[in-house]
């Protein structure tokens, strides 16, 4: 699911919101949030700073929105991937695979999310920023809850031979998102190769009775 | 090893450097870097802004220094922990354990490091910031290299039944540092409990023939 799809459906066709978000993802992802000047986004999009402020009141507001959209996509991807799985081992493989369904821009967006999770820890001074922050926090909890539920099912039916579903879910999430630190499109490994290796690693991590075989 | 120990030995006993760093770790770690005003650090330490600039030319310069000190500590901890280990399985357990030897402030420092790794991606405009960034990058490479070497030894002697030492090292690092996202001193799990569970998880991740037994 692309970021653009996640923009509100009520937007005017002339809205620049989607293009601002895509531009910000490219800049924040490739050059870093701290390094990117807010005015540069306006220049890239070809609008003035005043017009930019119509969509986002600050660079942080835009960043939090990018993070919220990615978290929301992550929840949807997980649901879509795991709903069709017959058993916990298949659900784990599907959930891991869904994390790596990513365009190059999605990969940047996921790296941005991982690199700015500390923003979610403290109250924001502005109302719009704070709204996005609270949405992000509740989505983070939902993701942790969903992965914990998946692991718990595997523990309950004896497939996953670990004790603590929440801790195992946190480990799985750390493992899965850690890839965005080093993955680069066109790099040594393709996302297909990463998916395969990570699905196997995830199964080992929960001591699964069914570790997927490598191709 | 505490941050304060890592300050240059040539510093004057009246230097405020160590206390500035400790104060910044507390503020950046508890309230977030973005959220912390640089002037607040000066106030906390009880010095003026001019005096503060004598030590660090910017908030980012201070952050990068905190990151570099933690990365440097991490290299030293790994070496100290693994040098005495008899075999790759013992070395892995020792390396994981060394990651969780942490005071509450060390835990904050490690969270700060993880939350700002994207700062290392792009050249800094100032010379002092750029110096710290390049030191950080070379330490990150050294850490990855050291963990890869540990895994490779285990692959070579048949203890770790995985194919790719570098990829496995990256997974182990993601797993190990992921804890700093959710760990809080006084929280549900102690660092001793975390050490035990993570050592076992790390062994499973590399498909070790010797997974440490839980107490």
User: Residue B117 corresponds to which tokens in the numbers above?
Assistant: 């790794």
- Cβ contact, residue pair B181, A117, below 8 Å: yes
Res. A164: pLDDT tops 90? yes
pLDDT tens per residue, range A126-138: 999 999 999 999 9
Contact of A117 with chain B, judged by CB distance below 8 Å, is answered with: yes
- Cβ contact, residue pair B201, A201, below 8 Å: no
In Å, what is the CA distance from B192 to each residue of B6, B22, B105, B197? 24, 24, 16, 9
- Cβ contact, residue pair B174, A178, below 8 Å: yes
Contact of A201 with chain B, judged by CB distance below 8 Å, is answered with: yes
- Length of chain A (residues): 215
Q: What is the pLDDT of residue A10?
A: 60
Query: Which whole number is the average pLDDT over A135-162?
Result: 98
Contact of A118 with chain B, judged by CB distance below 8 Å, is answered with: yes
Contact of B189 with chain A, judged by CB distance below 8 Å, is answered with: yes
Return the H-helix or E-strand segment holding B196: helix B191-205
Q: How large is the angle between the packed helices A165-182 and A127-156, nearest 10 degrees?
A: 120
Residue A189: count other Cβ atoms within 10 Å of its Cβ: 16
The whole-angstrom separation of Cα A154 and Cα A156 is 5
User: Residue A190 corresponds to which tokens in the numbers above?
Assistant: 């393709």
Contact of A161 with chain B, judged by CB distance below 8 Å, is answered with: no
pLDDT tens per residue, range B21-42: 999 999 999 888 888 999 999 9
pLDDT tens per residue, range B104-146: 999 999 999 998 888 898 899 899 999 999 999 999 999 999 9
B174: distance to nearest CA of chain A, Å? 5
- Residue in B closest to A35 by C-alpha: B122
Residue appearing with tokens 């369904």: A101
Q: What is the DSSP code string of B54-86? A: HH-SSHHHHHHHHHHHHHHHHHHHHHHHHHT-S
User: Residue A103 corresponds to which tokens in the numbers above?
Assistant: 């365009």
CA angle B202, A166, B88 (to 5 degrees): 5
What residues of A are in contact with residue B122 (Cβ under 8 Å)? 31-32, 35
Q: Check the CA dihedral B119-B121-B124-B129 and report its sign.
A: positive
* Closest of A84, A77, A58 to residue A139, by C-alpha: A77
Chain centroid to CA B104: 13
Question: Hey, is A32 helix, strand or coil?
Answer: coil
Query: Which whole number is the average pLDDT over A206-213?
Result: 88
CA angle A99, A105, A107 (to 5 degrees): 35
Contact of B134 with chain A, judged by CB distance below 8 Å, is answered with: no
User: Residue A203 corresponds to which tokens in the numbers above?
Assistant: 């199964």
All structural domains of chain A: 60-205 (1.10.357.10)
């Amino acid at each position: 699911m692309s970021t653009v799809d996640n923009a509100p459906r009520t937007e005017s066709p002339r809205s620049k919101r989607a293009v601002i978000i895509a531009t910000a993802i490219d800049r924040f992802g490739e050059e870093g949030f701290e390094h990117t000047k807010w005015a540069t986004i306006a220049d890239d999009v070809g609008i003035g700073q005043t017009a930019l402020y119509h969509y986002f009141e600050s660079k942080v507001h835009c960043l939090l929105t990018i993070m919220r959209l990615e978290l929301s996509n992550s929840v949807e991807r997980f649901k879509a991937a795991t709903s069709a799985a017959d058993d916990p081992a298949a659900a784990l493989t599907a959930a891991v695979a869904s994390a790596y369904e990513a365009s190059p821009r999605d990969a940047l967006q996921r790296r941005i999310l991982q690199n700015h999770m500390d923003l979610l820890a403290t109250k924001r001074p502005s109302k719009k920023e704070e709204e996005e922050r609270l949405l992000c926090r509740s989505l983070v909890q939902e993701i942790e809850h969903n992965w914990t539920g998946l692991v718990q099912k595997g523990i309950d039916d004896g497939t996953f031979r670990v004790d603590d579903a929440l801790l195992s879910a946190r480990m799985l999430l750390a493992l899965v998102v850690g890839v965005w630190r080093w993955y680069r499109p066109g790099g040594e490994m393709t996302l297909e190769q990463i998916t395969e290796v990570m699905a196997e690693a995830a199964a080992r991590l929960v001591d699964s009775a069914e570790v997927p075989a490598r191709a």
